[in-house]
Amino acid sequence: MLASAMGLTYFWTKGVFTGRTAVFAILGLLLAWQFMNPYVNPFKINKRATNYKLGKSAIREKIGIYLSKKYGDEGSIAIGDIGLVGYIFKNTVYDIFGLTSYKFTLVYKRNVSKYVNYILSKRPDTIVICVIRKEGLLFPRYEAGRIVISNPSFRNEYKKTIMFVNPIYNYHYIIYERIRR
């Protein structure tokens, strides 16, 4: 694709193309790009970028604000998509994915199951799981979430309290809070 664009540029500078021919050539390249990879075509990229704040960032911001109000200066959370939530929530944040943890790589050798069990042993006050909807049912979107949900201690110690629904993208966040006994 890049080579084609460079070729068009070359012919344009040599005077082979007129203005109208160049416009049709560029439109043809964009159309070919769309057919070759519909997910990464320029028309959809702009739409996704425009909706990002409304979809993904807005939900994470709401989660961060909710958890900050709920726990104040205390409390801990475990979440995979830390990003904006970790920025807003100033207390302890455990990274379920291990992307910000040296232990995931050095101690647990990138073994997601062992690392998630380590996070669960820390007994965070809240665990946030990203889920997707398929055929009317909710499923954890990532492997770490599936491991958390299937852990017996998680099922005994945590309860679902609230779900943040994403109106644009097909993934949502469920907040599980540790049961105080």
Same-domain check for residues 68 and 32: no
Same-domain check for residues 35 and 59: no
Contact 146, 121 (CB under 8 A): no
For residues 119 and 126, give the distance between their C-alpha atoms in angstroms, rounded to a whole number: 12
Per-residue pLDDT tens over the stretch 93-135: 999 999 888 899 899 898 999 999 999 999 999 999 999 988 8
Residue 46 lies in a domain: no
Same-domain check for residues 99 and 152: yes
pTM: 0.71
Same-domain check for residues 155 and 102: yes
Per-residue pLDDT tens over the stretch 57-98: 788 889 999 999 999 889 999 999 888 899 999 999 999 999
What's the number of domains the chain is made of?
2
